[in-house]
Structure formats: C-alpha cells, structure tokens
Structure 1
Amino acid sequence: MAAEHGAGELVRVVALLGAAVVAVPLFRRLGLGSVLGYLAAGLAIGPFGLAWFTDPAAILHVAELGVVMFLFVVGLEMRPTHLWQLRRQIFLLGGLQVGLAAAAMTGIGLAFGFSPMVSFLGAAGFVLTSTAIVMQVLGERGDIALPHGQKMVSILLFEDLLIVPLLALVAFLAPATGQDGGESRWQAVLLGTGSLVGLVVAGLWLLNPLFRVLARAGARELMTAAALLVVLGAALLMELGGLSMAMGAFLAGVLLSESAFRHQLEADIEPFRGLLLGLFFLAVGMSLDLAVVARDWRLIVVAVPSLMLVKGICIYLVARWLGSGHGEALDRAVLMAQGGEFAFVLFAAAQGGGLLSPGASASLSAIVVLSMVLTPLVVLAARRFMPKPAPDMDGVEAASGLAGSVLLIGFGRFGQVASQSLLARGVDVTIIDTDIEMIRDAADFGFKVYFGDGTRLDVLHASGAGKALAIAVCVDDRRAADRIVELCRSAFPQARLLVRSYDRQHALKLVQAGVDYQVRETFESAVEFGAAALRLLGADAEQAAGIADEVRKLDAERFALELAAGRTDAGRDLLLTNTGEPRMRQTPLVPPRREGQVLNPDEPG
C-alpha cells in the first residue's frame, strides 16, 4: 500500500512537470508568455479540466512559498541607497498610479453592487500589476534598462512593497471572534509586533555572523540550506505572529540587502523561487473555477474589460501628468492594465480573515486570472495602433550633411576599439549609431557620435557615405549588417567596405557579397587567448605565436575551400584539413605536467 501511495504521488509530480514542460514552451512560442502557459497547464490538469488534481488549494498552499521567496529576492534589492535614488519614481509615480486606480476601481465595484469592503479589496488586488508578465514583456523587448522601462520597474517595485502593508491591513481588519474579541485583538497586535521585533533583531545581529561561519566551513550545500532556513524561518515567524509569510521573507531580504552574502543568497534561492513560482501559477490555473465563471459570466464579462479599461486610463493620466509622452503613457497603460499574482495572496488572506466570502473570492480571482490571460492579446492588438515612440534626442545630433574619409556604423564595444587606430592616425572618421544612451555616454569621453540608422539609404547619404573612402560596418546585428552591405555595394561603390561578421556562415556570405574585408567578431581574440594560455603553461613566445599562425592558416584553408564550394551553411569554427577531416595531432602541443615540474614543451614527455 505504501508503494502504491508513493507511486501515486510520483504520478502527480510527473503530471505537474509534464504539463509545465509542454505548455510553457508552446505559449512562449506563440508569444503569449510563460505565465499564461502555466495558467493554461494548471487549468488543463485541474479539477475543471482533466481532473488529475482535485484539491488545488493544497498545492496552492505549498506553492505560496514561491511568492514568499520572490518577495525575499525583492527585499534583497531594496538597499537604502537604491531606494533613495529611485524615490521619486517609486513613491511619487507608483503612489499616484496605485492611489488613483484603486479609488476608481473601488467605485466600479460599488457600481456593480458589491459592499464597500469587497469593492476595496477587489480594487486593492487588481491594482497590483503582474510583475511576471510585465517584466517578461520588457525583457523580450529589451526595454528594462531604458528610461520608460525603468519607470515601469519602479512602479512594480512600489506595488511589490505595497502587498506587505495590504496584508497587514487585512490582518488588522479581520473580525475578532469570541467574547474577548477586543482583548484578543490586542494580544494579536502585541504578538505580531513581537514577531517583527524578533525578526529585526535576528537580522541585524545574527544572520551575518551565521553566514560568515558557514562561509568559512566551505560547504556550498550548507549555504543553500542556510538561505532556505532564513527565508522559511522568517516566514514561519511572521505566520506564528499572525502576520503574512511574505512579509517575513521580504523583511529578511531587506535586512540582508547590505550583506556581503546578498548575491550568494539570491543565487541559492533563485532555482527554488522559479520552480515554486511556476508551481504557484499552475495552482492558480487549477483554481480557476469554471463553474464560477459560468455562474457569474455576466458580471465577469463586464467586470474584466471595465476594470482593465479604468486602470489603464488612470495609468495613462498619471503618466501624462508627470511628463511622459503619449506613446510611452499608452504603452504603460496597455501593459500594466491587468491584475497580478499578488491579488491571489491578498484574496486568500482576506477570505481566511472573514473579510471575503468564498464566492466573492472566487469571482474576484477569476476576474484577475482572465485579465492576465487577456493582457498578451491586448498588447499584440494594441501594437498595431500604438505610435512608435520617438527617441529622446536631447543632447544628441542627428546625422545630416556629414563628410569624412571613413564612415563607421555602430559604436558598441567592437566599434569603439576599431575606431581608436583610425583616430590615433588622425583619420577623419564619422560615427553613427542608434543607441541614444551610448551616444550620450560617448560624448562624456570626447567622442562625437551622431544618431543615424545605417540600414536606411537616406541616412547613409546624410552621413557622407557618398564621399567616404571606406565604410566600416561594426554593428552587432547580422541582418542589419547584411542590409548595410547591400545598400553600400549598390549606392556607394567608391568606398572600401569593411564588415564585422558574426560567425563563419556570415563571413562566407559577406565575402560572396563582395566586401573588401571581414573579420569574425571573436576569432582573432580567441586565437590570441589560446596563444596566451600556451605561454602561461610554459611555451615560449615564438612557439605560441607559431601555433597561433597555424590556427589562422588552417582556418583560412578551410574558409577558402568552403568559399570555392559555395557553402554558406558552415556555422562552427573547427580546424579541418584539406580533406575536410578534423586534424588530429600525434603528440600534444604541451606535454602533461609532472608533479613538482614547470611545464616545458621542449622537454621529452
């Protein structure tokens, strides 16, 4: 019987992992995001799908540890200096957006006939945007480090912080039971305060010494165990004090934010956080009660778009009031108009405290889940009508009427190094790029870089490509490089064309396109790296240089063979002989090192 029970539990684990492994890549491939994949997988295997699981609440209780660990990681990032730098964006922008949206959505709840308490809790849950969805979209677009992305991250940070006082407020508002309700409430307040004080004392005077002792022990698994102990211990302490587990984990993270072990803790927690947070979304998908959706479909069909629309309008108004452009404000409103994962935590706490009935909690949870489901679809639909945000050109000069002996396109790390030889010789170089922040940073170091997209023919003309003796293409985008080569070969035949290639396949394509010179972006540095390794292992400089030259020769031979054969599918850089077989050496370049001996390749093995 025990074996059968164990096998049954293993089947459940396999079902959870299998559903996630199938659904998440599929949804990411469709551009809908991993969170929706988890939600859909949970719905499919839950009690309202294939019914492989009939008690999602039990899974959700365990999976809430994912949210706990997520808040611990958020706390680790909350260094006082970082908070002070972002204080305006976090507290002013975040506070105005949350306050206006919460007030407006509370009014929507009252209009739908809910009580003031249910309306407030529903609005408070819906105002907490899904960090997972927004961060994923920003990451895919590469906008996290940009100014408008940083504003959204700051708002998400404020909302992540807001869950802590909201959970404390729910605990305070929960009705006391029994004849000694007032006394019990005061006892609960004192117990909660004592738990907070105990956690702060432990964080300030016990945690860092503990990690120093474990670090001296040199056992990696002990550090991981200690990290889990801190998170779960803080969560347990807060739960025993009648407060939120998430609050305890967050405070523990804040107390360790200045610790020398912060990055190690984050790395140790991350795998557990990601896995449990995925499990949390699976459990949320299982918890979507389709019977509730069917029962309250009229309310849900009206409430989901109404709340998303009202929240989006509030976000847009706050963004415009604080100086954001129309495109940026509209993008933020569309992307942040949904409810988030912390709403489920808030609703569960409110239901446990008697502030929400099970029916109201189920309806509000269904509304939040459906808003999360709709967000990627709304973002895709809005992208067609959203104006493309114009770059902030403050302090940046666009390319116009320029002329120089060399036009250098792309001023990233490769372009910066390549330009130094030209500038050192006094060559008249015109540099263009599309990265506004990089252009401003380059100006601080004395470089004059103009804003210009090298894939556009009119920009190339304005940048002086028609008079240039040479055009150096240093962009790190293979398609952009191919487009620039095509334009320059047809429109500016007088200029010699030098191009940074991505790999062997790209290099073959560029040579066939007629460029004058191409170099793979990592080949020469890798050859020099190998030669340096030989020298450090005891080879003399002449031998190391000879081996490096042989590597270049073998590569050039293979490259010529592939070029003659018209191949453009060679993606790997292997050393091949003329027969196309890997070259095997009869003796090692450097003999094995004997104990107590300095490595010398000239000695007999």
Structure 2
Amino acid sequence: MPHDALTAGLLLLALSVVAVVLVRKVNLPPVLGYLFVGIAVGPHALQWLPDLYMLETLAEIGVVFLLFMIGLEFSLAQFWALRRAVFGLGGTQVLLSVIAAGGAAWFSGIPWSGAIAIGGVLALSSTAIVVKQLIEQIEMHSTHGRLAFAVLLFQDIAVVPFLVLIPILGGGAEGGMAWPLLLAMIKAVVAVTGMLALGHWAIRPIFHAVAAVHSTELFTLTALLVSLSAAWITNLFGLSLALGAFLAGMMLSETEFKHQIEIDVRPFRDILMGLFFISVGAQLDLGEAMSRWGLITILTVGIIIGKAALVAGITRYMGYDKAVATRTGIVLANGGEFGFALLTLAISNHLLTSVEAQPVLAAVIFSMMLAPLLVHANGDIARRLFVKDVLREHVSQRVRLSKAGENLSGHVIFCGYGRIGQNLARFLLQEGIDYVALDAHSGLVKKAWEAGEQVFFGDATHIDMLRAAGLDKARLLVVTIDEPHASERIVRNVHHEAPELPILVRTRSDASMEALENAGATLVLPETLEASMMLSQHMLEFLGVDQEEIHHVIEAARSDHYHQLRGYFHGEDSESLEESERPRLHTVVLDPESRAAGKSIAELGLEQASAVVAAVCRDGVRGELPEGDMVLRVGDGVVLEGSAEAVEYAEELLQTGG
C-alpha cells in the first residue's frame, strides 16, 4: 500500500466513517469507533500509518481546541468559584493517587524512582475523553461534571512538576530537587498571570479590529491564531498546551464574540479530536497485551475501581452526597493522554524499561477505551448503587418546589430562567401575576433565590418537577431554554400531561418550529423571525404607513407561520447541515437553452423536487405565487423556494429537464 499522506488521510477518513456509524448503530459513543480504527491501522497491527508522530501532533492540537472551547463556557468568576474543587479535590486526588499507585508499583519490585513515575502516570485522567463525553451528554454544567472538570484542570497543572521531577530522578539534572521544582512553579505562575493579563487587555481590541474588516475568513484565522498562540505560550513555560488554550477561551468567554468563535472553531476541534483518539488506539500493542493479559487486566481493573473509589471518597469527604461522589469517581476512573508523555520521559531517563512500561501503557489505553462507556453510564450506576439517596434528593427538591407552588393558581411556569426568562418575569411582576421558574444552573438559581425570586433548581425535562411546580393549576407554560431537543422533550411531556395548557416556546431560529409544534407547542416564536417582524413594524411606522395596515401585514405574516419570511437568499458562505435543510430562495434566469422556456409551470414537474415557484420576475415586474398555467419565457427570473437539495434539483429540471 502506498504510504503517502493523501492515501493515509483518505484511509483514516473512510475507516472512521464506517467505525463511527457502526458504534452509533449499537448506541455506543463515537470515541470507541476512533479507538478501534487506531488499533487496526497502528504500527502494532496493519501498519497503515506512515507517520505516527505527525498524527500525534495534529491530535494534540485537537485537545487544544477542545480545551479552548471549554474555556469559552467558563468565566473568571466561575473558575474562581471552582477553586476549592480544583485545589482541594484535585490536589488531594493527585497526591493520594501517586502514593497509592506508586506504592503498589514499588511493592511489585519496581525501583522507587520508577514507581513515582508510574504513580504520576496513573494519577491522571483523560481530559479529552471525559470532557467530550460530558458535553455530548449535556452534563458539563452538572455538579459532578464541574467537579470532574476541576480535577482535570489540576491534573493538567500537576503534569508540570512531574516533567521536571522525572529527569531529576533519572540523574539527568544536577543538584537537588527543590530549586528546579521551585523554578517550574515560578514559571507556571508567570505564564498564567501573563496569559490572564494579555487576555484581559489585548484580546477584545484585537477581535474588535478584525470584526470591523467584515471578513469571515479573517475572523476564523484570528480565532485559530489566538487559541494556538495561547497554547504555545504556556508550553514555552513548561505548562501543557491545553492549559493555555483553556485560559484563552476563558478570556474570550467575557466578550461578545464568544458564540461566533465557538461556531468557527468547532469543525477543527471535531476533526482533530477524532485523530487524537485514533492516535491513542495506535499505541496499543495487541500482541504484547495478549501475552501479559493477566497483569494488564489487573492493572486496568485497578485503575478503574481504585481511582473511582478514591475520587468518590474524597468528594464525599468534602460534603457532597453519595450519588454525586460516585458519579464524579466513575467519570474520572480512567487513564489520561498526558500519561503517555510521562511514560515516554520515564523510559528515556531510564526510570523504567520498555518491558516494565508496556503493561502500564496497555492498561491506561484499555481504561481510556472503557471510559466513554463508564461516563455514559455514570448516572445509571449511581442510581442503582444509591437509589434511596437519589430519590431522597429528588424528592427534597420537589418538596421545596411544591411548598412554593401549593398556594399558587393561575400562575406561569418558566422552563429556563436566563436573560429572556428574567425579562418576561419582570413584566409578570408589573401585572401582579405569579410565576415559578426552573433552571439547571445552580449559580444562577442561587443568586435569583437570594434576590427573593421564585426560582428553583431542577431539570424541567422531568415531568415530576413540573408537577411539583403546580402544572395542574398553571395558566401558561413558557419554555425559554436554548436547547431544541430539551425544549421538544418538555413540550411533549407537558402536552401529554396537560393537553389544554397553552405552551409558549422561544427558539433561536425557525429550524425546529415544526418539531416543537408537532410535539404540542401552542405557539413557537423564533427569535430571528420575530426580530424581523419588529424591525418591519418600526420601519413601516417611520415610512408613514397606517397603523391598521401595519397591524394587518404583521399579523398576516404570523398567521401564515412566517412562511414569507422563512425562505431567503443564501450567500456563498459554507453552512451547516441543519441550515441546508431550511427553506431558501434561489433565482434561475432562463436562457434560450433552458428546457423550461415555452412551458407552463405545471408542466415542469417541480413537485417531485419538493420545491415551488415563489415568484417570476419578467421585464422588471415581479409576480408573487404565479398560477400553474403561466408559460415561462426566455429571460424570466424564476424564484424557487425549498431546501438546498430541493432547489438544486428544481434548477436542474428548469435548465435540462432533469
């Protein structure tokens, strides 16, 4: 097989597509598909990867983008609020893990210096796998998700002293340990402080200047430059690349460019993260693993059970309930990608031999392969182990909510209490109408509750929480969260429970309108279309159009499900799959070679393309919704409406006859 870059790239893409499709068909995380591809094509199996170093470099950039986007979800205030978990839970976990794993290695006959290196390797968990899986499961902002992320942050920081310590233990650094470690800590503090200062004073002006150019390409390039530069700076100071990217993302989370940056970076993150998981699988030597399967099995089980028990115990000691402690332990019960770097360094400094390191490497990889399954099942495992505690906590939330709602009648229930929910609540207060709000962000709930507002922590997708909020006595339910799938689930549950209750749903765009209406929503208000309606109303007022006519035009558009607004002309910019399914307008000008010239619209068979003729422009005059018997002529501008695929097919019918 030719080992050129293009062939290798095509091979990885093809195998990844097949593998991910197969694992998704059996409802397993996509990460496993990438890992299996890596095992199959790696240097220890089919040997189809010509340059593993290049793959690992690209994979590490994927981790950089992942942490950069996580930083976009955190503010400095949120990070400061996690300081107890980062340094308390994270610091204790790393210290005790090194002692436990290193002690076990020492008792098994590994020299004490090598045992410390093994302890450092096994103390780490996979930031890439855990964070990606938590995001997919919408658990990143849950209590156990935040605790797990706090520990992962400390582990990234803890890699630095190990990178300094291992050469010292191997005799590669002269003098004692104290000065090199102190120097490393000083460099770390300088790097982090410098990054925060640079982000605070420089990043916003840079993006303001770039945005003023109105170039999508330049904006994307700047986002990539900032994330990679931040990673490079922290790496220059001996810190991990991922930590710098996280700090840069956290700085940008405070700016108005946050959401656009997230959209621009996501495709790079997803592709490179796939390469990361392939590179992890490629390092597994199946032959070696099979020959020492007993030891590797013990090590793998030890990593999973030992780390889960240790993290759960520390979390429980810090005051969290059993269910949260167990879920945090399960999420972190795996080896980490930075462990590979420490193992390589330990071997090069003669602290470990390759024979001693291979079982540890295999156990770490196997634990990472099992990690997506464990993270996916963390809630189910906790519920089975501590069903009484989970039910007790769930019931206590419902009791608190029920007490607030038992005296209410004819009130409004808000599902989501972000900016829109809070604004709506202010109007209700002015009118003296009671309300109850549910939100899953504990920090927001705490602040609103302290301000005397009727806001409670809870997941509105659970119907029993809505029952506790007085669903049977409510006058209206308003869904304001920006999660289409969660909104649809809420609407479906409520419509089944209380079919007569009006349900008002806010959605960012019109893409999910039909799904929400089919689920039972009484009225769906897409922000983009409603903004157009409001601007249209003011525009017509400024132009002196009669108020009655304005009201008629606006209400006609609403009563028609915004039909005349939902199709629009798209530019040349790339778009997502979801956007390609939305209605758009596209004009086809008929020339003498067009098959449609001289035929009526009805003869064209456009219904098979799922597209319609929205208008025909002839001699500068535009006719809306022409009749089917209208005969088209050369020079006519035929305005087609439909999805991207439908419009493309309809254009082919007009020009060539299909």
TM-score (normalizing by structure 2): 0.66
**Alpha-carbon distance change, 292 to 281 in structure 1, aligned in 2, over 3 angstroms:** same
- Give the counterpart of 2:108 among 106, 112, 115: 112
Match of 2:299 among 285, 298, 303: 303
Of residues 488, 494, 500, the one that matches 2:504 is 500
Distance 1:536 1:357, change over 3 A: farther
Evaluate the alpha carbon distance shift between residue 202 and residue 117 of structure 1 in structure 2; reply closer, same or farther with a 3 A threshold: same
Picking from 276, 280, 296, the partner of 2:276 is 280
1:171 aligned onto 2:167: yes
Residues 139-197 of structure 1: per-residue CA shift (max 9 Å, x gap): 23333223332222111111111112211222333334xxxx859x9999999999999
Q: Which residue of 2 aligns with 1:352?
A: 348
Please tell me whether the aligned partners of residues 399 and 462 of structure 1 are also in contact (alpha carbons under 8 angstroms).
yes
Question: CA 1:114–1:268 in structure 2 vs 1: closer, same or farther (change >3 Å)?
Answer: farther
Q: How does 1:62-101 map to 2 (within 5 A)?
A: 63-66=59-62, 84-101=80-97
Query: Is 224-233 or 142-151 further displaced after alignment?
Result: 224-233
> How far apart are the structure 2 equivalents of 1:430 and 1:478?
21
User: 2:478 aligned with 1:474, yes or no?
Assistant: yes
Seen in structure 2, the aligned counterparts of structure 1 residues 455 and 484 have a Cα distance that, compared at 3 Å, is farther
Q: Please, which moves more after superposition, 160-169 or 187-196?
A: 187-196
Residues 73, 454 of structure 1: alpha-carbon distance in 2 compared, 3 angstrom cutoff:
closer
CA distance in 2, matches of 1:301, 1:65: 31
Residue 472 of structure 1 contacts residue 498 of structure 1 at CA under 8 Å; is this kept in 2? yes
Contact 1:129 / 1:340 at 8 angstroms: preserved in 2? yes
* Residues 90, 154 of structure 1: 8 Å contact kept: yes
Residue correspondences, number:
544
Q: Which residue number corresponds to residue 548 of structure 1?
A: 554
2:309 equivalent in structure 1: 313
What residue identity is the alignment partner of 2:436? I
Deviation at 1:384, TM superposition (A): 6.1
What is the letter of the counterpart of residue 554 of structure 2? A
Residues 400-453 of structure 1 show CA distances to partners (whole Å, capped at 9, x for unaligned) of 5824441433343576666666554445x4636474846544434543357887
Q: For the Cα contact (< 8 Å) 1:56–1:283, is it kept in 2?
A: yes
Of residues 149-158 and 356-365 in structure 1, the stretch that sits farther from structure 2 once superposed is 356-365
1:126 to 122, 128, 153: 122
Match of 1:463 among 451, 458, 470: 470
Please report how far the alpha carbon of residue 509 of structure 1 lies from its aligned counterpart in structure 2 after TM superposition: 6.2
Aligned 8 A contact 1:19 1:42 in 2: no
Q: Is the 8 A contact 2:45 2:285 kept in 1?
A: no
Q: 1:447 aligns with which of 453, 464, 484?
A: 453
CA deviation after TM superposition for structure 1 residue 24, in Å: 3.8
Structure 1 residue 23 corresponds to structure 2 residue 23: no
**Equivalent-residue separation in structure 1 for 2:272 and 2:229 (angstroms):** 17
Matches within 5 A, 1:155-554: 155-176=151-172, 182=174, 223=222, 227=226, 230=229, 234=233, 247=240, 250=243, 275-379=271-375, 380=377, 382=381, 385-387=384-386, 389=390, 390-391=393-394, 397-400=400-403, 402-412=406-416, 423-427=429-433, 429=434, 431=436, 433=438, 435=440, 437=442, 440-449=446-455, 460=467, 463=470, 465=472, 468=473, 471-475=475-479, 477-489=487-499, 497-500=501-504, 503-504=513-514, 506-507=516-517, 510=520, 519-523=522-526, 526-527=529-530, 529-533=532-536, 535-536=538-539, 539-542=543-546, 544-554=550-560
Q: 1:112 and 1:80 mapped to 2: Cα distance?
A: 44
Q: Specify the alignment match of 1:565 in structure 2.
A: none
Tell me which residue corresponds to 1:138: 134
For 1:249 and 1:478, the matched residues in 2 are separated by 35
Letter in 1 for 2:36: A
Q: Deviations over 1:26-84 (max 9, x none)?
A: 44564543433322111122234433236635643564455567678889999987665
In structure 2, how many angstroms separate the alpha carbons of the residues matched to 1:410 and 1:332? 30
**3-state SS, counterpart of residue 356 of structure 1:** coil
State how far apart, in whole Å, the 2-side matches of 1:422 and 1:58 are. 59
Task: For 1:95 and 1:289, locate their aligned partners in 2 and report how far apart those are by CA, in whole Å.
Answer: 33
Deviation per residue, 1:371-401 (Å, 9 max, x gap) = 1112333453725624363259589823158
Does the CA-based 8 Å contact 1:403-1:463 persist in structure 2? no
CA contact (8 A) 1:409 1:472 kept: yes
Measure the CA separation in 2 of the matches of 1:331 and 1:530. 46
SS at match of 1:90: helix
CA distances 1:195-254 after superposition (whole Å, capped 9, x unpaired):
99998999799998899799868665874685488468658856xxxxx5x547856986
In structure 2, the residue matched to 1:584 is 615
Cα distance change of structure 1 residues 116 and 536 upon mapping to structure 2, 3 Å threshold: farther
Could you list the per-position Cα deviations for residues 302-322 of structure 1 after superposition, in whole angstroms to 9, with x for gaps in the alignment? Answer: 111123222222112111111
1:601 matched residue in structure 2: none
Cα distance per residue 1:476-532 (max 9 Å; x no partner): 63343333333335xxxxxx632236734543664xxxxxxx643225872452351
CA displacement, residues 435-475 of structure 1 (integer Å, 9 cap, x when unaligned)? 4846544434543357887975897498383xx4x632324
CA distance in 2, matches of 1:38, 1:15: 13
In structure 1, how many angstroms separate the alpha carbons of the residues matched to 2:262 and 2:425?
39
- The range that moved more, 370-379 or 537-546, is 537-546
Q: Supply the AA of the counterpart residue of 2:615.
A: M
User: What SS does the aligned partner of 1:406 have?
Assistant: coil
Contact 2:230 2:245 (8 Å CA) reproduced: yes
Structure 1 distance, partners of 2:559, 2:71, is 54
Higher RCO (CA < 8 A, seq sep 6+): 1
Which one-letter code corresponds to 2:274 in the other structure? G
Mapped partners of 1:531, 1:210: distance in 2: 34
Cα distance in 2 between the residues matched to 1:255 and 1:110? 40
Distance (whole Å) between structure 2 residues aligned to residue 528 and residue 589 of structure 1: 26
Aligned counterparts of 2:184 and 2:445: Cα–Cα separation in 1? 52
SS at match of 1:584: strand
**1:42, 1:281 within 8 Å by CA — same for their partners in 2?**
yes
Change (3 A) 1:441 1:297: same
CA contact (8 A) 1:72 1:231 kept: no
Alpha carbon RMSD of aligned pairs, Å? 5.1
281-290 or 534-543: which moved more?
Answer: 534-543
Quickly say closer, same or farther: Cα 1:32–1:156, change in 2 above 3 A.
farther
- C-alpha distance in structure 2 between counterparts of 1:163 and 1:499, whole Å: 51
The residue that corresponds to 1:566 in the other structure is none
- Give the direction of change, closer, same or farther, for the CA distance of 1:547–1:584 in structure 2 (3 Å limit): farther
**Contact 2:615–2:623 (CA under 8 A) maintained in structure 1:** no
Q: Distance in 2 between matches of 1:224 and 1:454?
A: 35
SS of 2:615 mapped into structure 1: coil
Structure 2 CA distance for aligned equivalents of residues 418 and 301 of structure 1: 57
- 1:200–1:128 distance in 2 versus 1, CA, 3 Å: closer
For structure 1, list consecutive stretches of 5 or more residues without a partner in the other structure: 239-243, 490-495, 511-517, 559-570, 591-605
Identical columns (%): 26
1:324 CA displacement: 1.2
Corresponding position of 2:144: 148
